[in-house]
Structure 1
């Protein structure tokens, strides 16, 4: 039987529903702060999530705007300033309690800690945003929960490129099949699979209807047992636990799902 030695967590969408009610709102506050008549509604931001990285998302959006700066250099400079302001507003959103961890996340993390399953963060969001979220949700010693933390600043290529996962594996000194990634989006799944890391998908708000190919389990979140593929034994009121992750990892049968 394969042994699970580490759980690798994505952040945005996986640990918390940060995108719609956190980052999107913060981007709009940054636009307002600079006097820009721009606004990303829920649908538009969902489209922009096809671009990984906040600065990259801004530059992609500006490329289609007639009122954006004319040159690539000017757009880059504006993107940098907007991203800085966005991070400031995002941290304020987190501190206000507008963004919290998804149900079931802390429970599984606690089980990993109790049973000696190592944990890591594999995200291409900014480190300042990771710290803003987890300092509030896990406390000032939040980083001690994780043996490896790889963020957007640490990689040259963001998801779906596998670089973030390869860095985490190198820091942990583990082979891919000793680990399990928890992701919420097709690009994250693709990044992990390209690094040969098996993946459990917990669907998030923006990817509730997305197609996922090659995960070992796909479901609505760690808070409930209903709606998962492969189906789980019924346990009234019980959430997903570490034992479920271990069982999926041991079987490691890929599934696909579209809704």
Structure 2
């Protein structure tokens, strides 16, 4: 779908924007894959491999291989890239990726229902602390709504006010489209909003939308270039992260 009124260029000039100590934080927008949940290793990767097996294909992505493939955003594009790299003609690779992707999504939903995908430690406590102090929490992901909704419901209930997915916004990160759509729908001010990401593409998307960004990397993204993030941590339990939010929330006087 077309992006919201106000293009990425409108926000690009605000790349150095920062929610500064003493400012009142009004909203936090979370990414999903790798940020809210450890979904890549035990979720998506497993779903891709089961899809290949069901289709009678010899392909299998081990942990290291999948980590490299995460540079390609979008499941069908990731499969197409893999097939083409292994000798398949480009048009055939794209067609096969598009044909397999719906089944991959179904398997991902099954894994979510089984509880294979869990929240990252500390993130639920952070979300609850934000909500308790009047901060709106939203989601901006380029994952498809077919699996994002059941995942969020199972893991976080009804905590999120607004959820924008790749079903509504087809420009994938590092495009800022998902973030811009959340801003459009909520009327949130970029100067009082923080994005939480885990990867280079995600940080670039948030910064291009004019948002202050925090990066909490995972085992797959620890070596990503996270330049542009105002704070980089390895977990949501990190005291530096709690302190960062407390400085920007005068009302956050105790707890995390």
Fold shared, TM-score > 0.5 on shorter chain: yes
Map 1:1-259 → 2, pairs under 5 A: 1-66=22-87, 68=88, 70=89, 72=91, 74-139=92-157, 142=158, 145-225=159-239, 232=240, 240-241=241-242, 244-247=244-247
User: Structure 1: any 5+ residue segments left out of the alignment?
Assistant: 226-231, 233-239, 251-259
> RMSD of the TM alignment (CA)?
1.8
For 1:249 and 1:61, locate their aligned partners in 2 and report how far apart those are by CA, in whole Å. 45
For 2:142 and 2:249, locate their aligned partners in 1 and report how far apart those are by CA, in whole Å. 24
For 2:39 and 2:84, locate their aligned partners in 1 and report how far apart those are by CA, in whole Å. 25
Report how many aligned residue pairs link the two structures. 229
- For the 8 Å contact 1:180–1:249, the answer to whether it is kept is no
- For the 8 Å contact 1:198–1:249, the answer to whether it is kept is no
* Other-structure match for 1:257: none
Query: 1:249: how far off?
Result: 8.0
Q: Deviations over 1:178-226 (max 9, x none)?
A: 100000001100000011100111111101122311211111111233x
Query: 1:80: how far off?
Result: 2.3
For 1:136 and 1:4, locate their aligned partners in 2 and report how far apart those are by CA, in whole Å. 27
User: Structure 2: any 5+ residue segments left out of the alignment?
Assistant: 1-21, 251-256
Query: 1:33: how far off?
Result: 0.6
Deviation larger for 57-66 or 195-204 = 57-66
Structure possessing the higher relative contact order (Cα contacts under 8 Å, 6 or more residues apart): 2
Q: TM-score, normalised by structure 1?
A: 0.83
Query: 1:76: how far off?
Result: 3.2
Q: TM-score, normalised by structure 2?
A: 0.84
- For the 8 Å contact 1:217–1:248, the answer to whether it is kept is no
